[in-house]
Amino acid sequence: MVNKMGYPEKEQISKDLMALPDHQDKFKYLIKKGKNQPELNQEFKIEKFRIQGCMSKLWLHPQFKEGKIYFSSDSDAAIPKGIAAILTEIYSGLTPDEALEFDSSFLKEVGVAQHLSMNRSNGLVKLYEQIRLYALAFKSLNRG
């Protein structure tokens, strides 16, 4: 099991969020996180990369370079954009195996997992699933 230990930049996100017990501060952090993320190239803001089922528009673009996965994302809403930025940051730079085994349970501890709810108007759970699907696809590509 790969856990957050050994991934210092991921530990930093965890630490940052843990230090913000207040809802409002967490939102502020997420909004900032989204704003600081480079905007996704317009050519990738297309249906093919759109996460369906979210009331806001949410895109996830994967790349596979030298055996590692790199994600970028964007959204027209600030909080989903921030959460997507965190997820893509966590999962970028991992091999497909590492991504599939990555223990994301810390998201729950830091209060982000509540946004990954099953509510159909909230596509963030689908974003998470899509990240794993890409990891699976790249894994088979790697083998092939």
Question: To the nearest whole angstrom, how small is the minimum distance from the Cβ of residue 27 to another protein?
Answer: 5
Q: Among residues 34 and 96, whose Cβ is nearest to another protein?
A: 34
Q: Among residues 115 and 139, whose Cβ is nearest to another protein?
A: 115
Q: Residues 31-70 vs another protein: string with x where CB under 8 A?
A: x----------------------xxxx-------------
Quote the tokens at residue 4: 């957050």
Q: Does 78 bind another protein (CB under 8 A)?
A: yes
Q: Which amino acid would we find at residue 96?
A: P
Question: Residue for token digits 């027209």?
Answer: 76
Q: Site residues for another protein, window 7-26 (CB under 8 A)?
A: 23-24
Contact footprint for another protein (CB under 8 A):
23-24, 27-28, 31, 54-57, 76-80, 115, 121-122
